[in-house]
Amino acid sequence: MTTKAPATIEAAAGIRGLLGIPAFRGIAIANTLVALAFGSSRFVFVWLIGELTEWNPATAILGILLGMPHLFLSAWAGSLVDRLSPRQLGLALMLAGTLLFTVTAILVDTRFMNVQVAMACGFLTAIAPAMLTPLLQALVPSLVPGTRLMQAVAVQNLGMMVATIGGAFIGGGVIQLFGISAGFWLLAIASGLAALRYMVTPLPDRLAGANQQRRGAIREGASAALGNEPLRSLLAITFVLGLAITTSVLLLPEFARDVLGQESFAAGALNAFMSIGMMGTSFVLATRWTPSRPGLVLTIIAGLFLGGGLIAIGSSRAYLVTAVFAFMWGMSGGIAMTLLRTLTQVNTPPELMGRVMGLAAMAQNGAFPIGSLMLFGLVSVTSVSSAMVISGVICTTAIWLISIPRHVRQI
C-alpha cells in the first residue's frame, strides 16, 4: 500500500491529530518498538557479558562494538534511503534484526556462547537499528505537514525515550523471572512486531526527490551537508550532543557509585531523572510550545546547559543535588534533540534527506565509541568526577565556538 502525497494531509492539533495520520502513526509505533529492542539490547548484552566474565574492560569493549555500526554504517544507510523503496529497505532490516536476536537467544543456552560470541552477537544485532535510524527519521517530513514537523519530531523522540527507559526495566524484569535467554527472546519479539506494524503502514514508493543514482551518493550528501550552512554547524552540534550523551551514559553510574556512594538502584534512578526531564520537554514541544526563533533557542540551551549540566553534576557531592542537575540536564537535552533534528530536516533538500539523516545519525550515535575512548583516557589520568567536568568544559567550548558565526542563531 502506498500514499500519493502524505505530506499534504493536514493534521488536527495536538498529538492525537498527528497520530491520526495513518502513515505517521505506523512509523511512530514501529520506531518505538525498534527503540525498545535496541534500548533493551544494551542492558541485556551488558548483563550477559557480566555473567560470562568478571573482566571489567569487557563492558567497555562491548560499548564500543555496539556503537561502531552507527559510526560506520549510518551514512551508507542514508544513501540507500534516498535510492530504495522505504518499505522494502525497512522491512528487510527489521526482519534481519529479528533473525539475529533470535539466533542470539538460541545460542545463550548452548555451550557455544562465550565472551567472544557475545561480543560478535552484540555488534551484529546493532547493525539493523543503526541503519534503520536514518530511514525512520527521513520518512517523517514526507508524512506530516511542514507546519507540524517539530511536533512530529518531538512525538517520535518521546516514543523512543519511553521505549529506551522502559526497555531496561522490562529487560531486567524478564531476565530475573525467566533467565538471560528470555531477555533476548524479548528483543526478537519487539523487533518482529515492529516489522509487522511497518508492513501494514501506508508509505510512499520513494522519498521526495529520490533517484536511482548509485555512484557518489554518499559523497554528494556529505558535500552538500558539510559544504553549506547551517547544515554544517547543525551536524557539528549534533556530534557534541552525542559526546555529552556518551559522558552521561558511561560516567553517571560510576559517579553515583564511587563519588556519591550509592547502590545500583539509586544510580539507576539518576538516569531515570534525566530521562524524565527529556520526556517532559519533548512533550511540551509536541503539544504546547513552538519557538519563534528555534535556532537562537537551540544555541542558548546547548551553549549553557549541554556541557554546563555535566560540569554541575561532576562538581556535586550530594545525591539530591545531583538528581536535580540530572533532571535539568535531561530537560535541556530534550529541547536540543528536538530542535536539532527539526532544523536539520527543514534545511535539507528533500532529495538528500536520507543521506543527511544518515550523517546526523553518524554524528550523534557514532560519537559513542569516540567518546568512550576519550573518557577512558580522561578517567585513567584523572578521576570520574574530573573526567565529567572536563568533558562538560569541552562540550561547552565546542558549542560556543560553533555558534560564533550566526548560521544557527539566525534560523
Query: Do residues 141 and 229 share a domain?
Result: no
Query: Do residues 99 and 132 share a domain?
Result: yes
Whether pTM > 0.85 for this model: the answer is no
Boundary-marking domain end, from 174, 207, 240: 207
Query: Do residues 96 and 45 share a domain?
Result: yes
Residue 399 in domain: yes
pLDDT, position 8: 41
What distance in Å separates the CA atoms of residue 275 and residue 281, rounded to the nearest whole number? Answer: 10
Residue 288 in domain: yes
Query: Do residues 131 and 240 share a domain?
Result: no
Q: What is the pLDDT along the chain (411 residues), one digit of tens a residue?
A: 444 444 444 445 567 888 889 999 999 999 999 988 887 787 788 788 878 887 766 777 887 888 889 888 988 898 888 888 999 999 999 999 999 999 999 999 898 999 999 999 999 999 999 899 999 999 999 889 888 899 999 888 888 877 776 666 677 778 878 888 998 999 999 999 999 999 999 988 877 655 555 555 677 778 878 888 999 999 999 999 999 988 887 788 778 888 999 876 677 778 778 888 988 998 898 888 889 899 999 999 999 999 999 999 999 999 999 999 999 999 999 999 999 999 999 999 888 888 899 999 999 888 888 888 888 888 888 998 999 999 999 999 999 999 999 899 998
Residue 6 in domain: no
Domain that holds residue 391: 222-411
* Residue 147 belongs to domain with CATH number: 1.20.1250.20
Boundary-marking domain end, from 149, 176, 207: 207
Query: Do residues 262 and 199 share a domain?
Result: no
Boundary-marking domain end, from 177, 207, 237: 207
pLDDT, position 266: 79
Query: Do residues 178 and 269 share a domain?
Result: no
Query: Do residues 159 and 291 share a domain?
Result: no
Query: Do residues 256 and 328 share a domain?
Result: yes
pLDDT, position 241: 94
Query: Do residues 130 and 57 share a domain?
Result: yes
